[in-house]
């Protein structure tokens, strides 16, 4: 169990899930939504935010999800990855909006101020500040 905990910590600290890992516990600590549900809600919105930072990786995701990306631009192919994730979440009934939960928009500033303090954000492929985090929260609402 200790080994698994260490490996998980290492994976979190070097992964590109940094923004999701910062936003989800911040929201969960201020609401009745579990961290896992928060991550599900945030995933397509964070992917959209980071799309221009690593479009090549998104193209790979599109291919893995059987999207035809042969005759379109890299950005269009990257957008298909975000759309495929949204569709997958919809197919398995994962809510994609914070509005499905009892959350007040007035908490967004507090949540973004908390999220920015997490060290996970050091690994994000695109710099982020509290205003951008709040924008993601609004987009997810």
pLDDT in tens, 88-139: 999 999 888 999 998 999 999 999 999 999 887 877 888 899 999 999 999 9
Burial profile 35-46: b = 16 or more Cβ within 10 angstroms, e = fewer: bebbbbbbbbbb
- Tell me the C-alpha distance between 49 and 72, whole Å: 20
- Predicted model pTM: 0.83
**Statement: residue 26 has pLDDT above 80:** yes
- Residues 137 and 27: their CA atoms lie apart, in Å, by 10
Mean pLDDT lowest for which of 17-21, 48-52, 74-78, 81-85? 17-21
How far apart, in whole angstroms, are the C-alpha atoms of residue 63 and residue 81?
8
What is the C-alpha separation between 105 and 27, in angstroms, rounded? Answer: 11
Give the Å distances, CA to CA, from 21 to 64, 71, 77, 80, 132: 23, 34, 25, 23, 15
DSSP, res 68: -
Q: Is 16 in contact with 54 (CB distance < 8 Å)?
A: yes
| Cβ(84)–Cβ(61) below 8 Å | yes
């Amino acid at each position: 169990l200790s080994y698994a905990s260490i490996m998980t910590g290492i994976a979190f600290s070097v992964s590109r899930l940094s923004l999701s890992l910062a936003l989800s516990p911040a929201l969960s600590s201020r609401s009745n939504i579990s961290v896992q549900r928060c991550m599900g809600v945030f995933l397509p919105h964070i992917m959209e935010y980071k799309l221009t930072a690593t479009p090549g990786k998104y193209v790979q995701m599109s291919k893995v999800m059987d999207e035809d990306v042969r005759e379109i631009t890299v950005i269009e192919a990257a957008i298909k990855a975000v759309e495929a994730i949204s569709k997958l979440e919809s197919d398995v009934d994962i809510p994609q909006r914070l509005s499905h939960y009892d959350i007040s928009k007035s908490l967004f500033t507090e949540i973004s101020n908390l999220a920015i303090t997490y060290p996970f954000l050091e690994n994000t492929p695109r710099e982020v500040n509290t205003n951008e985090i709040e924008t993601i929260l609004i987009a997810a609402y």
